[in-house]
Amino acid sequence: MADRPAERGDPAVTGDIRGRFRIGALTLMLLLVVAYAVGLTLKGDGFSPLVDGWLAMLALWAPVLVGCAAAYRVGRTQIEVGLAAAALTANALADTYSLVTVDADGRTPFPSPADIGYLLFYLLLLCALAVLVNRQLRGTARSVLLDTAVGSLGAAAVLAVILSPVFDTAAANPLSIVAVIAAAYPVLDLLVVAAIAGIVASHGPDAGKRWMLLVAGLLIFAAADTVFALQGDTYIVGTPLDASWTIGVVLIALWVDGTALPRPVRDHRSAATTMSALAVPMVSTIAGLGVLILASQVTVSAFAVALAGATMALAVVPLVGRQRVLNLLARTDDLTGLRNRRAFNADVPTRLAAVEGRESALLLLDLDRFKEVNDSLGHDVGDRLLIQVGIRLTRQLRAGDLLARLGGDEFAILLTGSGREDALTVAVKLRAALAEPFQLEGITLQTSASVGISLYPDQGSDLTALLRKADMAMYKAKTGRSGHHVYDSVDDSHGEIRLRTLAELRLALTDEQLVVHYQPKVDLATGAVQDVEALVRWNHPERGLLLPDQFVPIIEEAGLMHALTQVVLRQALDQAVLWHAQGRPLTIAVNLSASSLVDTELPDRIGAMISARGLPASLLALEITEEFLLNDRDRARGILTRLREQGIRISVDDFGTGYSSLSYLRDLPIDELKLDQSFVFPMAGDERAATLVSSAIALAHSLGLRMVAEGVDSGAAYDQLLGYGCDFAQGFHLSRPVPAAELDAWLADRRVADAESTLLLAAEPAEV
């Protein structure tokens, strides 16, 4: 089907509007800030209505526009973005009031209604930080949380010393509204500085550019507030100090804009192990001690002394019961809080000895395609998924069961006093619990797990033997897609085959052993062939040509699906270049797995591959499964819209096999449906199957979509589909998937046959 013109409400149009709005807001903000900075440099002393009034006001409202654009993009999925945008708005409203009420000498009334806006700015921004930090520190090791608290209190204590005159004034006049409001600002500044120290302590150098923008903005803002507080009544509008707040707000707005963007893929390590993260609590402890020593020599506010005392109290907590804490940490998985491999190795022999030879079961659980989550969504999302997995597994087990995270996405469970049937029941229960969707920062993620089971004492009398056999059983569950499997002696050979095949596959991906065959799609109305499907094969040097079901499951398990997708796309697009040069442009459809489509950078990479070859994007179609569409509708819409905007056609493969609402046909940018062969095969002898096929074709046409029938293996099925008005047919009756050269020959023979048929019809005498 030809591309439809974009209409209002089309996701592609909406995405384009949002992108342009964002770029426009950022550009306007930067231009106004530069103009304001130049104006401050050139205007000289005193208050300038143009520079300190209009330009300053516009420079403060532009970040609000950026924040609103970010909030509009994320909707309700990221509450911290909306809170930050509201904070920027409150600050701009307060500044606008202050500039409107400034007198000829550059002074503003204090207190005034503007103070409500300024204080709201702090409170809303701190709420946004609380939401975001709470989410990111959830499940973090206790040592990191403690370091964060020490760093926050120590930094606040130092600032409290600097602001002692302000606190002393407030303490001397506790009933004065002026003193209370004046003291509120430094208190909020203390919270801001504490937040900065907490961010650095918990994130370290891996915080990334987005966090660094926030830290820089907050530091500039806090520094400007500190200078303002110490100036007291001597502050006037129109000095370089005003630019400090503007710069701070701009940096915060850039952080808000970046927070609303997809997260980049990066290596995420525990900040607790980095030198800078350890330096923050260390420096804060020294600072707290310094404040206490200073308080013994000079007058320091009681508030600063209290903060310093709290810093020292928390700093000595790790020294209490040090050996016990270290032992606990040595046995605990730093991410999930479960037992780690060391604790599991130590506890299992004790548990097995206690049951005195009675049967027990060891379950080894591994998440399916977890590497794709890390590669596509980032290690931070993968870490949060593992935390939630640990929680769900714990809830499904008995108090006496032994659960541990061995590393990566691998968990082990020892069921003492349980036999084969009990182990199978638990495996089914665990897999069902993990099949429920996970909510991770606005992303709906659905995963599955494979469980291998080994039995004590029949299949091993020690942990090493039980783990080895459970691992082989787990692989059998993965490759057989059964979900769980109990070890059998024949699995030993399968384990060796798996390792050898995986090593050979890694070589095949780089050694041109993977080849692409093409199967034509025939236009039922005209008999023409304008589309083909690319299907991968493995030309194994010893085992011959292998079909996908013999190696793709291993590819998925090993996290190599991205590499396979790149190989198939490259070969298919190279072939499209040849056909296009020969004057026979054929649209090539490439299958993409659900794991490949979680990669937000995929549309850009595919677009670059097409552009590099000088091809029209319409010569590529991508076939995706309902699994991807049903798991995460919002993510699917974003990725498919970006692909569709390039002119790439989107086809839904295996249509009819998903178990969910068909509303995605209305919401998502789709061009074509491929009716699964399980409906086409029984069509000839099953009236109900035939009715389903004809209804599906009518549904597709009513939505403006093309319908392709797969598995057309007989002339009867071909004729029946033609009668139902199906658009295209694909199957062995027409052609098997063949190399490009054989397809060229098949197309040539088909053209000759069509020409001969035309001549015969022309030679027949007309009926009288």
Task: Say if residue 244's pLDDT is above 70.
Answer: yes
CA–CA separation, 691 and 677 (whole Å): 15
Task: Say if residue 298's pLDDT is above 70.
Answer: no
DSSP 94-150: HHHHHHHS--TTS---SS-THHHHHHHHHHHHHHHHHHHHHHHHTT--HHHHHHHHH
Residue keyed to tokens 């099925």: 717
Pairing between strand 514-523 and 529-540?
antiparallel
Task: Say if residue 266's pLDDT is above 50.
Answer: no
Sign of CA dihedral 714, 720, 722, 727: negative
CA–CA separation, 680 and 105 (whole Å): 85
Which whole number is the average pLDDT over 665-682? 85
Q: Do 154 and 293 share a structural domain? A: yes
Choice among 312-316, 459-463, 649-653, 752-756 with the minimum mean pLDDT: 312-316
**Which of the four pLDDT bands, split at 50, 70 and 90, describes residue 270?**
very low
Q: Considering only CA atoms, give the Rg of the chain.
A: 33
Q: Is residue 470 part of a domain?
A: yes
Residue 105: per-residue pLDDT: 59
Sign of CA dihedral 200, 205, 211, 213: positive
CA–CA separation, 516 and 564 (whole Å): 11
Task: Say if residue 201's pLDDT is above 70.
Answer: no
- Round the average pLDDT of the chain to a whole number and report it: 77
CB 264 within 8 A of CB 281: no
Residue 272: per-residue pLDDT: 40
Q: Token pair for residue 664?
A: 């995605």
**Which of the four pLDDT bands, split at 50, 70 and 90, describes residue 190?**
low
Burial of 127 (0-12, 13-18, 19+ CB in 10 A): middle
Residue 189: per-residue pLDDT: 65
CA–CA separation, 533 and 590 (whole Å): 6
Q: Do 591 and 470 share a structural domain? A: no
Q: Which uninterrupted H or E stretch holds 760?
A: helix 740-763
Task: Say if residue 552's pLDDT is above 70.
Answer: yes
Among residues 257, 270, 259, 274, which one has the least CA distance to residue 379? 270
Q: Is residue 8 part of a domain?
A: no
Range list of H helices, 44-110 = 56-74, 79-100
Q: Do 567 and 467 share a structural domain? A: no
Which whole number is the average pLDDT over 178-206? 60
CATH at residue 689: 3.20.20.450
CB 699 within 8 A of CB 732: no
Three-state SS for 440-496 is ECCEEECCCEEEEEEEECCCCCCHHHHHHHHHHHHHHHHHHCCCEEECCCCHHHHHH
CATH at residue 462: 3.30.70.270
Q: Do 450 and 375 share a structural domain? A: yes
Burial 294-311 (b: 16+ CB within 10 A, else e): ebeeeebbebbbebbbbb
Angle at 708 between CA 702 and CA 713, to 5 degrees: 140
Residue keyed to tokens 């020959």: 745
Higher pLDDT, 241 or 10: 241
Instruction: Provide φ and ψ at 595, rounded to 5°.
Output: -70, -30
CB 87 within 8 A of CB 125: yes
Question: Which of 463, 489, 515 is the last residue in one of the domains?
Answer: 489
Among residues 213, 190, 221, which one has the least CA distance to residue 118? 221
Among residues 25, 14, 18, which one has the least CA distance to residue 254? 25
Q: Is residue 766 part of a domain?
A: no
- Report pLDDT digits (tens) over 442-452: 677 788 899 99
- Report pLDDT digits (tens) over 272-292: 444 444 555 555 555 555 655
Q: Do 238 and 186 share a structural domain? A: yes
Q: Is residue 11 part of a domain?
A: no
Residue 202: per-residue pLDDT: 55
Task: Say if residue 694's pLDDT is above 80.
Answer: yes
Q: Do 427 and 346 share a structural domain? A: yes
Choice among 190-199, 250-259, 543-552 with the minimum mean pLDDT: 190-199
CA–CA separation, 743 and 533 (whole Å): 11
Residue 518: per-residue pLDDT: 95
What is the count of structural domains for the chain?
3
Could you tell me which residues come within 8 angstroms of residue 607 by beta carbon, excluding any fewer than 6 positions away? Answer: 617, 646
CA 578 to chain centre: 37
**535: β partners:** 517
Q: How far is CA 597 from CA 437, 625, 632, 664, in A?
A: 17, 10, 11, 16
Which whole number is the average pLDDT over 183-205? 61
Q: Do 683 and 650 share a structural domain? A: yes
**Which of the four pLDDT bands, split at 50, 70 and 90, describes residue 553?**
confident
Print the domain residue range for 700: 501-756
Residue 589: per-residue pLDDT: 94
Residue 267: per-residue pLDDT: 38
Task: Say if residue 167's pLDDT is above 60.
Answer: no
Q: Is residue 10 part of a domain?
A: no
Q: Is residue 228 part of a domain?
A: yes
- Report pLDDT digits (tens) over 347-395: 999 888 888 778 899 999 999 878 777 776 777 888 889 999 999 999 9
Which whole number is the average pLDDT over 504-514? 87
Q: Do 368 and 289 share a structural domain? A: no
- Report pLDDT digits (tens) over 19-77: 666 777 778 888 888 888 777 777 766 667 777 777 877 887 888 888 888 887 777 66
CA–CA separation, 621 and 634 (whole Å): 21
Could you tell me which residues come within 8 angstroms of residue 709 by beta carbon, excluding any fewer than 6 positions away? Answer: 674, 675, 680, 693, 717, 721, 726, 728, 729, 730, 731
Q: Do 516 and 383 share a structural domain? A: no
Q: Do 313 and 381 share a structural domain? A: no
Q: Do 286 and 361 share a structural domain? A: no
Q: Do 332 and 314 share a structural domain? A: no
